[in-house]
Structure 1
Amino acid sequence: MADTAEGFSSYVAARHAALTRTAFLLTGDHHAAEDLVQTALARTYLAWRRIHNQAALDSYVRRVMVNEHTLWWRRAWRRRETLTAELPDRPATDPRGDPGGSAEQDGDLWRLLRALPAHHRAAVVLRYFEDLSEAETAEILGCSIGTVKSRTHRALAALRAGLTPATTPEPAPARRDVR
Protein backbone atom coordinates (compact mmCIF):
# COMPACT_ATOMS: atom_id res chain seq x y z
CA MET A 1 0.00 0.00 0.00
CA ALA A 2 2.86 2.39 0.83
CA ASP A 3 4.39 1.76 -2.62
CA THR A 4 1.07 2.55 -4.29
CA ALA A 5 0.65 5.80 -2.35
CA GLU A 6 4.26 6.80 -2.96
CA GLY A 7 4.07 6.16 -6.72
CA PHE A 8 0.77 7.98 -7.01
CA SER A 9 2.05 10.94 -4.96
CA SER A 10 5.13 11.30 -7.15
CA TYR A 11 2.96 11.17 -10.29
CA VAL A 12 0.64 13.87 -8.93
CA ALA A 13 3.56 16.07 -7.90
CA ALA A 14 5.09 15.81 -11.37
CA ARG A 15 1.94 16.21 -13.49
CA HIS A 16 -0.56 18.27 -11.46
CA ALA A 17 0.19 21.60 -13.16
CA ALA A 18 -0.06 20.15 -16.68
CA LEU A 19 -3.30 18.35 -15.85
CA THR A 20 -4.74 21.54 -14.35
CA ARG A 21 -3.91 23.50 -17.52
CA THR A 22 -5.68 20.89 -19.64
CA ALA A 23 -8.68 20.89 -17.32
CA PHE A 24 -8.80 24.69 -17.41
CA LEU A 25 -8.94 24.66 -21.19
CA LEU A 26 -11.72 22.06 -21.08
CA THR A 27 -13.83 23.84 -18.48
CA GLY A 28 -12.94 27.50 -18.93
CA ASP A 29 -13.02 28.05 -15.17
CA HIS A 30 -10.15 27.73 -12.71
CA HIS A 31 -12.26 26.34 -9.88
CA ALA A 32 -14.04 23.84 -12.11
CA ALA A 33 -10.63 22.81 -13.49
CA GLU A 34 -9.36 22.11 -9.97
CA ASP A 35 -12.49 20.06 -9.25
CA LEU A 36 -12.06 18.16 -12.50
CA VAL A 37 -8.42 17.34 -11.77
CA GLN A 38 -9.24 16.22 -8.23
CA THR A 39 -12.04 13.97 -9.48
CA ALA A 40 -9.82 12.50 -12.18
CA LEU A 41 -6.98 11.90 -9.75
CA ALA A 42 -9.33 10.29 -7.22
CA ARG A 43 -10.58 7.90 -9.89
CA THR A 44 -7.02 7.24 -11.02
CA TYR A 45 -5.94 6.44 -7.47
CA LEU A 46 -8.72 3.88 -7.17
CA ALA A 47 -7.52 2.20 -10.37
CA TRP A 48 -3.79 2.67 -9.66
CA ARG A 49 -3.07 -1.03 -9.03
CA ARG A 50 -4.84 -2.04 -12.24
CA ILE A 51 -2.84 0.34 -14.42
CA HIS A 52 0.01 -1.76 -15.74
CA ASN A 53 1.27 0.60 -18.44
CA GLN A 54 2.73 3.48 -16.45
CA ALA A 55 3.73 5.21 -19.70
CA ALA A 56 0.03 5.65 -20.54
CA LEU A 57 -0.89 7.35 -17.25
CA ASP A 58 -1.35 10.80 -18.80
CA SER A 59 -3.65 9.35 -21.45
CA TYR A 60 -5.64 7.54 -18.80
CA VAL A 61 -6.05 10.64 -16.64
CA ARG A 62 -6.94 12.82 -19.65
CA ARG A 63 -9.57 10.28 -20.66
CA VAL A 64 -11.05 10.37 -17.15
CA MET A 65 -11.07 14.19 -17.27
CA VAL A 66 -12.81 14.32 -20.66
CA ASN A 67 -15.39 11.74 -19.57
CA GLU A 68 -16.06 13.49 -16.28
CA HIS A 69 -16.32 16.88 -17.98
CA THR A 70 -18.82 15.41 -20.43
CA LEU A 71 -20.88 14.10 -17.51
CA TRP A 72 -20.82 17.53 -15.89
CA TRP A 73 -22.29 19.39 -18.83
CA ARG A 74 -24.88 16.69 -19.39
CA ARG A 75 -26.20 16.85 -15.85
CA ALA A 76 -29.31 18.93 -15.39
CA TRP A 77 -28.18 20.43 -12.09
CA ARG A 78 -25.23 22.09 -13.83
CA ARG A 79 -27.65 23.95 -16.08
CA ARG A 80 -29.30 25.62 -13.08
CA GLU A 81 -26.19 27.68 -12.41
CA THR A 82 -26.52 31.24 -13.59
CA LEU A 83 -23.84 33.45 -14.99
CA THR A 84 -23.40 36.97 -13.72
CA ALA A 85 -22.78 40.00 -15.89
CA GLU A 86 -19.88 41.18 -13.72
CA LEU A 87 -16.87 39.16 -12.72
CA PRO A 88 -15.58 39.38 -9.16
CA ASP A 89 -12.47 41.48 -8.58
CA ARG A 90 -9.19 39.65 -8.92
CA PRO A 91 -5.56 40.64 -9.27
CA ALA A 92 -4.10 41.22 -12.73
CA THR A 93 -1.44 38.58 -12.10
CA ASP A 94 -2.26 35.58 -10.02
CA PRO A 95 0.53 34.87 -7.49
CA ARG A 96 -0.44 31.19 -7.49
CA GLY A 97 0.40 30.92 -11.19
CA ASP A 98 -3.13 30.60 -12.56
CA PRO A 99 -2.83 28.20 -15.50
CA GLY A 100 -5.22 30.28 -17.55
CA GLY A 101 -3.53 33.63 -17.03
CA SER A 102 -1.99 33.79 -20.49
CA ALA A 103 -5.07 32.36 -22.18
CA GLU A 104 -7.30 35.04 -20.69
CA GLN A 105 -4.99 37.73 -22.05
CA ASP A 106 -5.69 36.53 -25.56
CA GLY A 107 -9.18 37.99 -25.27
CA ASP A 108 -10.98 37.17 -28.48
CA LEU A 109 -9.36 33.78 -28.98
CA TRP A 110 -10.17 32.76 -25.42
CA ARG A 111 -13.79 33.94 -25.80
CA LEU A 112 -14.14 32.00 -29.05
CA LEU A 113 -12.57 28.87 -27.58
CA ARG A 114 -15.01 28.96 -24.67
CA ALA A 115 -17.91 29.40 -27.11
CA LEU A 116 -17.10 26.17 -28.95
CA PRO A 117 -19.23 23.11 -28.18
CA ALA A 118 -17.58 20.95 -25.51
CA HIS A 119 -16.70 18.09 -27.88
CA HIS A 120 -15.08 20.50 -30.37
CA ARG A 121 -13.16 22.25 -27.59
CA ALA A 122 -11.95 18.91 -26.24
CA ALA A 123 -10.68 17.90 -29.69
CA VAL A 124 -8.81 21.20 -30.13
CA VAL A 125 -7.34 21.10 -26.61
CA LEU A 126 -6.12 17.52 -26.96
CA ARG A 127 -4.78 17.95 -30.52
CA TYR A 128 -3.10 21.33 -30.25
CA PHE A 129 -2.57 22.12 -26.58
CA GLU A 130 -1.65 18.60 -25.48
CA ASP A 131 -0.04 17.91 -28.89
CA LEU A 132 -1.61 14.46 -29.19
CA SER A 133 -1.97 12.61 -32.46
CA GLU A 134 -5.35 12.11 -34.08
CA ALA A 135 -5.30 8.46 -32.99
CA GLU A 136 -4.51 9.34 -29.36
CA THR A 137 -7.20 12.02 -29.34
CA ALA A 138 -9.72 9.58 -30.82
CA GLU A 139 -8.88 7.02 -28.15
CA ILE A 140 -9.31 9.54 -25.33
CA LEU A 141 -12.57 10.93 -26.74
CA GLY A 142 -13.90 7.47 -27.55
CA CYS A 143 -14.59 8.23 -31.20
CA SER A 144 -13.09 7.53 -34.61
CA ILE A 145 -10.14 9.34 -36.13
CA GLY A 146 -12.47 10.76 -38.78
CA THR A 147 -14.66 12.26 -36.07
CA VAL A 148 -11.61 13.88 -34.48
CA LYS A 149 -10.63 15.32 -37.86
CA SER A 150 -14.09 16.72 -38.55
CA ARG A 151 -14.51 18.15 -35.04
CA THR A 152 -11.08 19.75 -35.21
CA HIS A 153 -11.76 21.12 -38.69
CA ARG A 154 -15.08 22.64 -37.65
CA ALA A 155 -13.64 24.07 -34.45
CA LEU A 156 -10.69 25.66 -36.24
CA ALA A 157 -13.02 27.06 -38.91
CA ALA A 158 -15.18 28.63 -36.19
CA LEU A 159 -12.10 30.08 -34.47
CA ARG A 160 -10.75 31.49 -37.74
CA ALA A 161 -14.12 32.96 -38.67
CA GLY A 162 -14.37 34.65 -35.29
CA LEU A 163 -10.85 36.05 -35.42
CA THR A 164 -10.93 37.24 -39.02
CA PRO A 165 -12.59 40.63 -39.28
CA ALA A 166 -15.40 40.76 -41.78
CA THR A 167 -14.11 43.10 -44.43
CA THR A 168 -15.37 43.92 -47.84
CA PRO A 169 -12.79 43.46 -50.54
CA GLU A 170 -11.30 46.72 -51.72
CA PRO A 171 -11.33 47.35 -55.43
CA ALA A 172 -8.03 46.75 -57.15
CA PRO A 173 -6.09 49.93 -57.84
CA ALA A 174 -6.29 51.21 -61.38
CA ARG A 175 -3.40 50.08 -63.51
CA ARG A 176 -1.17 52.72 -64.92
CA ASP A 177 0.60 51.96 -68.07
CA VAL A 178 4.13 53.24 -67.57
CA ARG A 179 6.32 53.30 -70.64
Structure 2
Amino acid sequence: MRRRLVLLAPAVALLAGCSATIVSGTATPSPPSKSAGAAAGSELPPDPQPGDTEDCPYLDSQFVADANGQHVSKVRVSADQPHPACFFYRPDGKVQLTVRVYVGDAAVATALVNKAAPVETSNPASDPTGWKGGYQSTDDGAVYAVSKGATAVVATTNQKQSVKARSVVRKAITALKL
Protein backbone atom coordinates (compact mmCIF):
# COMPACT_ATOMS: atom_id res chain seq x y z
CA MET A 1 0.00 0.00 0.00
CA ARG A 2 1.39 3.42 -0.94
CA ARG A 3 0.96 6.56 1.12
CA ARG A 4 -0.48 9.33 -0.99
CA LEU A 5 -2.15 12.61 -0.26
CA VAL A 6 -5.35 13.06 -2.20
CA LEU A 7 -5.21 16.69 -3.16
CA LEU A 8 -6.08 16.49 -6.85
CA ALA A 9 -9.90 16.52 -6.55
CA PRO A 10 -10.13 19.84 -4.62
CA ALA A 11 -7.62 21.44 -7.01
CA VAL A 12 -9.59 20.32 -10.07
CA ALA A 13 -12.83 21.61 -8.54
CA LEU A 14 -11.19 24.97 -7.79
CA LEU A 15 -9.74 25.29 -11.28
CA ALA A 16 -13.03 24.36 -12.97
CA GLY A 17 -14.44 27.83 -12.34
CA CYS A 18 -11.32 29.69 -13.53
CA SER A 19 -10.73 31.23 -16.93
CA ALA A 20 -7.38 32.02 -18.56
CA THR A 21 -5.78 35.34 -17.62
CA ILE A 22 -2.81 36.90 -19.38
CA VAL A 23 -0.33 38.61 -17.09
CA SER A 24 2.48 40.73 -18.48
CA GLY A 25 5.71 41.60 -16.74
CA THR A 26 8.86 39.87 -15.63
CA ALA A 27 8.81 36.92 -13.31
CA THR A 28 11.29 36.84 -10.46
CA PRO A 29 12.96 33.45 -10.06
CA SER A 30 12.30 31.78 -6.76
CA PRO A 31 15.24 30.69 -4.58
CA PRO A 32 16.46 27.10 -4.88
CA SER A 33 14.37 24.67 -2.89
CA LYS A 34 15.65 22.83 0.17
CA SER A 35 16.42 19.14 0.20
CA ALA A 36 13.42 16.84 -0.27
CA GLY A 37 11.26 16.91 2.83
CA ALA A 38 13.29 19.57 4.67
CA ALA A 39 11.24 22.15 6.49
CA ALA A 40 11.82 25.85 6.00
CA GLY A 41 14.87 26.94 7.95
CA SER A 42 16.21 23.42 8.41
CA GLU A 43 19.00 21.93 6.36
CA LEU A 44 19.69 18.21 6.17
CA PRO A 45 23.05 17.20 7.57
CA PRO A 46 25.42 15.59 5.08
CA ASP A 47 25.29 11.83 4.64
CA PRO A 48 27.62 10.15 7.15
CA GLN A 49 30.87 8.71 5.85
CA PRO A 50 32.71 5.64 7.17
CA GLY A 51 35.64 6.57 9.34
CA ASP A 52 37.66 4.59 11.86
CA THR A 53 37.44 0.82 12.10
CA GLU A 54 35.92 0.11 15.51
CA ASP A 55 32.89 -1.51 17.12
CA CYS A 56 29.51 0.14 16.73
CA PRO A 57 28.67 1.61 20.17
CA TYR A 58 25.00 0.58 19.99
CA LEU A 59 24.91 -2.56 17.80
CA ASP A 60 26.84 -5.80 18.26
CA SER A 61 28.39 -7.26 15.10
CA GLN A 62 27.04 -10.74 15.87
CA PHE A 63 23.50 -9.37 16.15
CA VAL A 64 23.90 -7.63 12.76
CA ALA A 65 25.32 -10.83 11.21
CA ASP A 66 22.36 -12.83 12.50
CA ALA A 67 19.78 -10.19 11.55
CA ASN A 68 21.15 -9.53 8.07
CA GLY A 69 22.20 -13.10 7.30
CA GLN A 70 25.82 -12.33 6.42
CA HIS A 71 29.11 -12.57 8.30
CA VAL A 72 30.45 -9.18 9.44
CA SER A 73 34.15 -8.85 8.63
CA LYS A 74 34.66 -5.23 9.71
CA VAL A 75 32.80 -2.29 11.22
CA ARG A 76 33.57 1.35 10.56
CA VAL A 77 31.94 4.31 12.29
CA SER A 78 31.41 7.89 11.17
CA ALA A 79 32.72 10.91 13.04
CA ASP A 80 29.16 11.98 13.94
CA GLN A 81 28.60 12.45 17.67
CA PRO A 82 27.12 11.47 20.03
CA HIS A 83 25.73 8.65 17.86
CA PRO A 84 28.01 7.75 14.98
CA ALA A 85 26.62 6.00 11.93
CA CYS A 86 27.78 2.38 11.75
CA PHE A 87 28.87 0.65 8.55
CA PHE A 88 28.96 -3.15 8.64
CA TYR A 89 31.04 -4.87 5.96
CA ARG A 90 30.85 -8.38 4.55
CA PRO A 91 33.95 -10.52 3.87
CA ASP A 92 34.35 -9.28 0.27
CA GLY A 93 34.84 -5.72 1.56
CA LYS A 94 31.46 -4.34 0.50
CA VAL A 95 29.04 -2.65 2.90
CA GLN A 96 26.17 -4.93 3.84
CA LEU A 97 24.31 -2.72 6.31
CA THR A 98 24.42 0.85 7.60
CA VAL A 99 22.63 2.43 10.52
CA ARG A 100 22.28 6.17 11.01
CA VAL A 101 20.98 7.79 14.19
CA TYR A 102 20.07 11.46 14.23
CA VAL A 103 19.04 13.43 17.33
CA GLY A 104 18.37 17.14 16.97
CA ASP A 105 15.54 19.01 15.26
CA ALA A 106 12.16 17.30 14.69
CA ALA A 107 11.77 18.73 11.17
CA VAL A 108 15.23 17.47 10.20
CA ALA A 109 14.53 14.04 11.71
CA THR A 110 11.35 13.75 9.63
CA ALA A 111 13.14 15.01 6.51
CA LEU A 112 15.92 12.42 6.94
CA VAL A 113 13.33 9.65 7.13
CA ASN A 114 11.51 11.01 4.07
CA LYS A 115 14.78 11.23 2.16
CA ALA A 116 15.60 7.58 2.93
CA ALA A 117 12.06 6.25 2.45
CA PRO A 118 10.09 8.83 0.43
CA VAL A 119 6.41 9.09 1.27
CA GLU A 120 5.53 8.78 -2.44
CA THR A 121 7.22 5.41 -2.92
CA SER A 122 7.56 3.71 0.45
CA ASN A 123 5.23 1.68 2.62
CA PRO A 124 4.24 3.20 5.98
CA ALA A 125 6.22 2.06 9.02
CA SER A 126 5.16 2.34 12.66
CA ASP A 127 7.42 -0.10 14.47
CA PRO A 128 8.40 0.29 17.25
CA THR A 129 5.26 1.81 18.69
CA GLY A 130 5.26 5.60 18.55
CA TRP A 131 7.76 5.79 15.68
CA LYS A 132 6.65 6.69 12.14
CA GLY A 133 8.32 6.45 8.76
CA GLY A 134 8.61 4.12 5.84
CA TYR A 135 10.25 1.06 4.34
CA GLN A 136 10.89 -0.13 0.83
CA SER A 137 13.01 -2.28 -1.41
CA THR A 138 15.65 -0.43 -3.39
CA ASP A 139 17.89 -1.29 -6.32
CA ASP A 140 20.63 -2.19 -3.84
CA GLY A 141 18.57 -3.85 -1.08
CA ALA A 142 16.08 -2.31 1.34
CA VAL A 143 15.64 0.57 3.77
CA TYR A 144 13.70 1.01 7.00
CA ALA A 145 13.52 4.55 8.40
CA VAL A 146 11.51 5.93 11.31
CA SER A 147 11.42 9.06 13.45
CA LYS A 148 9.90 10.09 16.74
CA GLY A 149 10.06 13.73 17.72
CA ALA A 150 13.58 15.01 17.11
CA THR A 151 15.10 11.53 16.59
CA ALA A 152 15.48 9.47 13.41
CA VAL A 153 16.94 6.01 12.85
CA VAL A 154 17.63 4.77 9.32
CA ALA A 155 18.96 1.35 8.34
CA THR A 156 19.88 0.27 4.83
CA THR A 157 20.72 -3.30 3.94
CA ASN A 158 22.01 -5.06 0.85
CA GLN A 159 19.25 -7.64 1.38
CA LYS A 160 15.87 -7.17 -0.33
CA GLN A 161 13.88 -7.99 2.82
CA SER A 162 13.13 -4.80 4.76
CA VAL A 163 12.37 -6.90 7.86
CA LYS A 164 16.14 -7.26 8.31
CA ALA A 165 16.61 -3.49 8.42
CA ARG A 166 13.58 -3.17 10.70
CA SER A 167 15.01 -5.58 13.28
CA VAL A 168 18.27 -3.62 13.28
CA VAL A 169 16.43 -0.31 13.76
CA ARG A 170 14.45 -1.75 16.67
CA LYS A 171 17.64 -3.03 18.32
CA ALA A 172 19.40 0.34 17.88
CA ILE A 173 16.44 2.21 19.40
CA THR A 174 16.38 -0.19 22.35
CA ALA A 175 20.16 -0.07 22.87
CA LEU A 176 20.25 3.73 22.78
CA LYS A 177 17.10 4.02 24.93
CA LEU A 178 15.62 6.47 22.44
Shared fold per TM-score greater than 0.5: no
| TM-score (normalizing by structure 1) | 0.26
| TM-score (normalizing by structure 2) | 0.26
Q: Which has the higher helix share?
A: 1
